[in-house]
Amino acid sequence: MVARHTGEDVVVDGGRGELVLFWAGFPLLGAGLGAGLTTLSGWIAGLPWFPFQGLFELLDRWPDERAYPIGAGLGLLGGLALAVVAVRDRLTVTVGHHTVRLHRDGHGRDVARADVAGVFVDGAALVLLDTAGGELAREKSDLDTERLREAFTRQGWPWTGQDPHRDAYRRWVEGLPDLPPGADALLRARQRALDGGHDAETRELHGELARLGVVVRDEGKRQYWRLVPGPPPR
């Protein structure tokens, strides 16, 4: 993980080494895996539960000088596809004195320092709290916590180290009486999205709940919620 200075801003990201791993390491690993599977293609073709049976049957019938380049090439393409996904999911945090920019997948959002009452890392997420106790941002991140702490504190942001409202969270089960109208239905829909691995829908429903004054955090596939202490955001 790297923290670097751009003018007065501090940028925290995975650094060039991470990009080299994605664009070179993943394709090379994929090519090696493809070649290894080609070696085992005869055995794999006899496993009825293994996917792509037709491909492995073809690789087993073809001569080695044809089968190995094709198997390695397919693995390389798979590694490149994985690299594209990894790069798109890569978070870059640019911390200035007055704003922080959260950039991922070609899109960025700016959060003003005046709106932020606390910054911390919750598991695998960078969280920014507003002055009412709601969340301004919750971004999945594998960035080093100490690097983030140094960047935010260097620029005078209120780094809290942990969630000051952690004890207020409750495990969600259907039919709880204390939720605002409509929140239970959104949490049911979000649970289905969470179970199905639909990340975009999960994030969208997280935002819908925030508009009702409900903050949600996940532990595995379990949802925990709390109400915003102050008035819900408009």
Question: Crossing angle, helix 64-88 and helix 53-61, to 10 degrees?
Answer: 140
pLDDT of 196 reads 95
Q: What does the pLDDT read at residue 16? A: 83
Residue pLDDT, tens place only, 113-134: 999 999 999 988 999 999 999 9
57-85 pLDDT tens trace:
999 999 999 999 999 999 999 999 999 98
230 confidence band (pLDDT: 50, 70, 90): low
Q: For residue 101, list its beta bridge partners.
A: 94, 110
CA distance 196 to 8: 42
pLDDT interval class at 101 (50, 70, 90):
very high
Structure confidence by residue, pLDDT tens digits, 129-184: 999 999 999 998 889 999 999 999 999 999 998 999 999 999 999 988 889 999 99
pLDDT band at 1 (very low <50, low <70, confident <90, very high): low
How far apart are the C-alpha atoms of 117 and 51, rounded to whole Å?
Answer: 50
- Whether the per-residue pLDDT at 234 is higher than 70: the answer is no
Give phi and psi for 156, each to the nearest 5.
85, 20
pLDDT reported for residue 72: 95
> According to the model, what pLDDT value does residue 139 have?
92
> How far apart (Å, rounded) are the C-alpha atoms in residues 91 and 104?
5
Radius of gyration of the chain (CA): 23
Q: At 105, is the pLDDT very low, low, confident or very high (cuts 50, 70, 90)?
A: confident
Give the tens place of pLDDT for each residue, 2-42.
Answer: 555 555 899 999 888 888 888 899 999 999 999 999 999 99
Torsion on CA atoms 70, 73, 77, 78, rounded to nearest 10 = 70
